[in-house]
Amino acid sequence: MLKIALIQSYGGRDPEEGLNRQLELIYKAKEWGAQIICTPELFRTRYFCNQIDPCFFAWAEEINGPTLQSFMEVAKKLNVVLIGSIFEKRTPGLYHNTAIVVDADGSYLGCYRKAHIPEDPGYFEKYYFSPGEIEFPIFKTQFAKIGVLICWDQWFPEPARILALKGAQIIFYPTAIGWLIEEKESFGQDQLSSWQMIQRAHALANGVFVASVNRVGLEGDEQSRRIEFWGRSFLVDPFGRMIKEAGEKEEILIGEINFDLIEKTRINWPFLRDRRIDLYGKMTERFLS
């Protein structure tokens, strides 16, 4: 059995505070037996993408910045795998929404840069982030083969399928999603259930474990869209069943997984066996008339 920790937390008031608070929660997750620990999306600060303001680019860090350095030190000390979400400054004028992965010996395994960048009311991410060009990597950690996707990626079936075909046992989704305050009453429950449904479907369709970790808290003011991040982080088994689900407050969600269930599920529901790869060539087209 493997223990996973999803750190469902508030964004920091500034990058230093956010990082220090996350490290405290990582230590606590280790005390509870976690072996792989994942943060929510852009945990070091508030979700600045709910408004357009160039001042927020000052919050970006290089890939080898303070988050990675701290995670490498802590991962080695605690013998845990760490997945962290950062606002990456790749070079002047080029920024990404990036996940870093550190193995349990403190070694840096690599990064994934968010491929699908949203542009919606309250989620002005195209202003800040360039899409990544890394083709959905697998990270072979000491405890598991994992894939990492980020938030808006979770609505697309193709990345999850590619990671499963590459051998991922667990797909992690660091996330920042919530209700626009003015929409919650009309659409809130439907939005939440759709978010859970699509990721449970990824687990079932691909026979993998899925771990989605969201932030919490009400953010925004008169200059920006107000968003209530709903939390509800969860861990799903390859059959699409909830292993464990968080509430709407800050918490560390601990869940146990048994990799034997991957093979048992795929034997009984052999979607990978029955795929008609000879018929799918048109999938790379934007639209088929």
pLDDT tens figures, 211-253 = 999 999 999 887 778 999 999 999 999 999 999 999 999 999 9
pLDDT at 157 over 90: yes
Q: What is the reported pLDDT for 35?
A: 98
pLDDT at 42 over 90: yes
Cα 288 → chain centroid: 31
Asked if residue 95 lies in contact with residue 54, where contact means CB atoms within 8 angstroms, the answer is no
To which CATH superfamily is domain 2-272 assigned? Carbon-nitrogen hydrolase (3.60.110.10)
User: Catalytic residue among 41, 61, 88, 125, which?
Assistant: 41
Cα 145 → chain centroid: 15
- Is residue 114 part of the annotated active site? The answer reads yes
pLDDT at 269 over 90: yes
- Is residue 245 part of the annotated active site? The answer reads no
Q: What is the reported pLDDT for 289?
A: 81
Of 144-158, 160-174, 181-195, the one with minimum mean pLDDT is: 181-195
Confidence band of 278 (pLDDT split at 50, 70, 90): very high
From CA 72, how far away is CA 89, in angstroms rounded?
A: 19
3-state secondary structure of 234: strand
Percent of the chain with pLDDT over 70: 100
From CA 151, how far away is CA 260, in angstroms rounded?
A: 28
pLDDT at 129 over 80: yes
Compute the half-sphere exposure of residue 42: CA atoms within 13 Å on the CB side of its CA: 28
Retrieve residue 181's tokens: 């305050």
Confidence band of 161 (pLDDT split at 50, 70, 90): very high
User: Catalytic residue among 3, 30, 89, 114, which?
Assistant: 114
List alpha helices for 156-219, DSSP H: 157-165, 184-206
Class of residue 88 by CB neighbours under 10 A (exposed 0-12, middle 13-18, buried 19+) = buried
Q: What is the reported pLDDT for 183?
A: 85
User: Catalytic residue among 89, 125, 151, 219, which?
Assistant: 151
- Name the helix (H) or strand (E) containing 93: none
CB atoms within 10 A of CB 277: 7
pLDDT at 206 over 90: yes
Mean pLDDT of all residues belonging to the chain: 96
